[in-house]
Amino acid sequence: MSHISECQEIQVTENLGVLEVAIQRPDRKNALTHAMYTAINQAFDYAEREPTIRALLITGTEGCFTAGNDMVDFLQNPPIGDDAPVMILLGKLATFPKPLIAAVNGPAVGVGTTLLFHCDLVYVGESAKLQMPFTSLGLCPEAGSSYLLPLMIGHQRAAELLMLGEVIDGQRACQLGIANAVLADAETLSHARAQAARIVAQPAAAVRLTKELMRAPFKDMLHSHMKVEGDAFGKRLVSPEGREAMQAFMEKRKPNFSQFD
C-alpha cells in the first residue's frame, strides 16, 4: 500500500494491482477543484504507465461521491480550453486502457455522473443520487454524455436526465443500465473492491484487449463529439445564464433567468 497524491483531498492508494482514488472533501460534498482534478490526472497517469496496476477504482467518501465541479472555480476561474485540468481528465477517462471501476454512495452530480459513463463497472449504494443538472445551470452536457447516454439508454430516457436534470437513485440507475448493481451503502466499496480483485486476477492483456475492442466502434466519434461538446460547455460557463445560476447557488437563492432571451 502506498500514497502517491500530494493533494489532501484526493487519497490515492495502491493495493494488489488496483489503484484506488478516493475523493475526500466532505465539507464541500467532494466538489472538485482544479487542484483535485490535477491530482486525479496524476493518479490516472501513474495507473496507465505502471505495469503492476491492472485496474483503477474511483470512489468518494462514505456518504457522497461528488457534487461535481466546484462552483467557486466555475465562477472565478472557469475551466475553458483543452489544458484545463478537468478537460484533461475527461480525455483520460475516454481513453484509459485498463478497467475503470466506480463505487458510488450519495450524491453524484454533474461530472460525478458523467464520468460513470466511461467506467467499465459501476456499483452504487442505496443512497446514490445521480444527477446532471446542466440545463438548470444554463450549461450543456459534458464528458461525452450527450453522445454516450443516448447510446446507452436511448434518446428519450437520456433527455429526461439531460434536459430535465432528473435525479435518479441507485435502483433506477441499474434499471437503466448505467450501473451494475445497487448495494447497501456499507457494502458498495467492498463489493467494488471484490470485483476489482476478480478483474485483476484475469489475464491483463486479454482484459485490456476486450476493453479496447468494446470501445473501438465509437472511439473516434466520441473523441470528435467531446471536442464539440467541450467548446459548447466552455461558452455556456461564461454565459449570463450560467453565471446567474452559479451565483444563485453560492448565494443560496433561486436563479432569475427572466432577463435572458
Give the neighbor-by-neighbor strand order of the sheet with 55-59.
10-15, 18-23, 55-59, 100-104, 121-125, 181-183
Residue number with CB closer to ligand COA (70 or 120): 70
Minimal distance, residue 71 CB to ligand COA, in Å: 4
Minimal distance, residue 63 CB to ligand COA, in Å: 9
Residue number with CB closer to ligand COA (75 or 94): 75
Closest CA to 15 of 59, 61, 52: 52
Residue number with CB closer to ligand COA (25 or 54): 25
Minimal distance, residue 258 CB to ligand COA, in Å: 21
Minimal distance, residue 219 CB to ligand COA, in Å: 25
Residues in contact with ligand COA by the rule CB under 6 A: 28-29, 31, 67-72, 107, 109-110, 133, 137
Residue number with CB closer to ligand COA (29 or 98): 29
Is residue 226 classed exposed, middle or buried when 0-12, 13-18 and 19+ CB atoms within 10 A define those classes? buried
> In the chain, what is the greatest distance between 2 CA atoms, to the nearest angstrom?
59
